[in-house]
Amino acid sequence: MGFNGAKKPKRPTRGGIVAALDVGSTKVVCFIARVEDAGAVRILGMGHQIATGVRAGSIIDMEAAETSIGAAVHAAEQMANETIRDVIVNVSCPISHGFNAEISVSGQEVTEGDVRRALSHARTLQVGPDQALVHAIPVGFSLDGNRGIRDPKGMYGERLGVQAHVITASAGSVRNLHTCVARCHLDMESMVASPYASGLACLVEDEMEMGSACIDMGGGTTTISVFCEGNLVWTDCIRLGGNHVTNDIARGLTTPVVHAERMKTLYGSAMTSAADEREMIDVPQVGEEERAGANNLPKSFLVRIIQPRLEEIFEIVRSRLEQSGYAKLVGRRVVLTGGASQLPNTRELAQLILDKQVRIGRPTRIAGLNEAHGGPAFSTGAGLLLHAVRNPTELPVAGHEAGVASGFFGRVGLWLRENL
């Protein structure tokens, strides 16, 4: 198996078992589910473990990450009473590329072969050898300059064009992830970009069709995905998240990180209120005994540390959306998800800075999720399962040859030959 870590994906059958592994900066989650009718799944087992050896979505300690992954998978297997071999794994910090290709069809009826030829003809995008291919999504076709065609087969024209959204990730990060999963005696059946999975889990069909953005606030990263006409058209990743808020609290109040996380969870808020001045909280100090050395401070001290960091994250999100050119396509529809989005008043702060309608997204399309595991923090894991059974309109990424082919277009050509 090559460095892209993916085999040619199998189509899950009704009654079959599918497993998803979400390797995040703060936690590792494993879902095991059974495939039901119409692309639906029901959770049989799940396990989650505090992530060690992972920072900003990338593995920095192979042994620690292996331990976390193994513990999460074992817990899910115990609960489901199933043993898994293949898993769908998320890839953090993806990079979006767009490319266009055009071929001549000489006024004849467009056939499947013409569509393949248009896709294989794309040679304009140059991506470095340090990138691994994750997704290739045809987002639209054109015929004689008429854009917005979803399926050109059977139509007539002179020039057939295709617009594709290609997602890549760091080849080194993907190889490390693949090696770590293999050391847990698991095979990576396929890879899915984290923001893609989050959007699939949290957006409703109308949002995907009309155009909307999904912002997933994780521990080490915040990812953005934009959907339109049912397709993922753009993604981005910001290397800031909930862990940065926790570290700000630890430094600002000179308290241990574990207590900073606890205070953030129990007392934290994204926006200040008048009552914050009156409410007092105990702040244990670094190196002191917890009770004897605790400071008694107003809650407003805590909120004034949290709010600027969250404002920074949302301002970067707003800037990235504007630079991408998809801000108008998104309109006023934004869905906020991820563990860090659960802080009180985060939605209100996002609405204020982004100037859009914001709702909190949860994985609503998965049956069998209990209340504890059906929150925004588990959106990516749920989306991985949905990607496996929804059969999205994309060109599958093949296995060994795609990973070792020389150059980006060598890989493109290989999965075009093998999968179309």
Report whether pLDDT(400) > 70: no
Query: What pLDDT is stored for residue 269 in this prediction?
Result: 95
Of 384, 411, 410, 409, which Cα lies nearest the Cα of 396?
411
The least confident of 171-175, 293-297, 407-411 is: 407-411
DSSP state of 109: B
Name which residue leads in pLDDT, 106 or 172.
Answer: 172
pLDDT-based confidence at 162, cuts 50/70/90? Answer: confident
Question: What mean pLDDT do residues 150-171 have?
Answer: 87
Q: Helix, strand, or coil here: 358? A: strand
Query: What pLDDT is stored for residue 129 in this prediction?
Result: 77
Of 392, 55, 417, which Cα lies nearest the Cα of 240?
55
Name the strands in the sheet holding 187-193, side by side, starting at the edge strand that comes first in the sequence: 41-50, 27-35, 17-23, 86-91, 187-193
Report whether pLDDT(24) > 50: yes
Report whether pLDDT(288) > 80: no
Domain of residue 159 covers 95-170+396-419
The least confident of 156-165, 180-189, 206-215, 286-295 is: 286-295
The least confident of 36-40, 140-144, 172-176, 357-361 is: 36-40
Query: What pLDDT is stored for residue 84 in this prediction?
Result: 93
pLDDT-based confidence at 406, cuts 50/70/90? Answer: very low
Summarised one tens digit per residue, pLDDT across range 221-230 is 999 999 998 8
Q: What is the CATH number of the domain that holds 155?
A: 3.30.1490.110
In a domain, 114, yes or no: yes
Q: What is the C-alpha to C-alpha distance for residues 298 and 187, in angstroms, rounded to an integer?
A: 51
Query: What pLDDT is stored for residue 97 in this prediction?
Result: 86
Mean pLDDT taken over the chain:
85
177 phi/psi in degrees, rounded to 5: -65, -45
Q: What is the total residue count of the chain?
A: 420
What DSSP assignment string belongs to 379-404?
HHHHHHHHHHHH--SSBPP-SHHHHH
Amino acid identity of 251? R
In a domain, 410, yes or no: yes
The least confident of 47-56, 124-133, 275-284, 308-317 is: 124-133
pLDDT-based confidence at 175, cuts 50/70/90? Answer: very high
Question: What mean pLDDT do residues 172-197 have?
Answer: 94
348 phi/psi in degrees, rounded to 5: -65, -40
Contacts of 247 (CB under 8 A, 6+ apart): 257, 260
Name which residue leads in pLDDT, 406 or 119.
Answer: 119
| DSSP element (H, E) containing 107 | none
Counted domains in the chain: 1
pLDDT-based confidence at 393, cuts 50/70/90? Answer: low
- Cα-based torsion angle of the residue sequence 59, 64, 69, 74 in order, rounded to the nearest 10 degrees: 170
Share of the chain above pLDDT 70, in %: 86
Summarised one tens digit per residue, pLDDT across range 342-379 is 999 999 999 999 999 999 999 988 888 877 788 899 99
Query: What pLDDT is stored for residue 117 in this prediction?
Result: 78
Query: What pLDDT is stored for residue 401 in this prediction?
Result: 32
In a domain, 356, yes or no: no
- Cα-based torsion angle of the residue sequence 47, 241, 229, 154 in order, rounded to the nearest 10 degrees: -70
Summarised one tens digit per residue, pLDDT across range 87-126 is 999 998 898 988 887 888 888 888 888 877 776 665 445 5
Name which residue leads in pLDDT, 7 or 127.
Answer: 127
Reported pTM? 0.87
Name which residue leads in pLDDT, 53 or 114.
Answer: 53
Query: What pLDDT is stored for residue 2 in this prediction?
Result: 33
Summarised one tens digit per residue, pLDDT across range 60-84 is 999 999 999 999 999 999 999 999 9
In a domain, 11, yes or no: no
Contact 59, 169 (CB under 8 A): no
- Tell how strand 295-298 and strand 212-217 pair up: unpaired
In a domain, 296, yes or no: no
List % helix, strand, coil for the chain (3-state, nearest 5).
40, 30, 30
Question: What mean pLDDT do residues 137-157 have?
Answer: 84
Q: What is the C-alpha to C-alpha distance for residues 314 and 320, in angstroms, rounded to an integer?
A: 10
Q: What is the C-alpha to C-alpha distance for residues 299 and 276, in angstroms, rounded to an integer?
A: 5
Query: What pLDDT is stored for residue 411 in this prediction?
Result: 53
CA 274 from centre of chain: 36
In a domain, 247, yes or no: no
Q: What is the C-alpha to C-alpha distance for residues 44 and 32, in angstroms, rounded to an integer?
A: 6
Q: What is the C-alpha to C-alpha distance for residues 156 and 272, in angstroms, rounded to an integer?
A: 61
The count of other CB atoms within 10 Å of the CB of residue 20 is 29
DSSP state of 307: H
In a domain, 111, yes or no: yes
| DSSP element (H, E) containing 273 | none
Q: What is the C-alpha to C-alpha distance for residues 227 and 411, in angstroms, rounded to an integer?
A: 25
Token pair 């998809």: residue: 326
Contact 133, 399 (CB under 8 A): no
59 phi/psi in degrees, rounded to 5: -80, 130
Question: What mean pLDDT do residues 245-265 have?
Answer: 94
The maximal CA–CA distance of the chain, rounded, in angstroms, is: 85
Query: What pLDDT is stored for residue 402 in this prediction?
Result: 36
Query: What pLDDT is stored for residue 299 in this prediction?
Result: 93
In a domain, 128, yes or no: yes
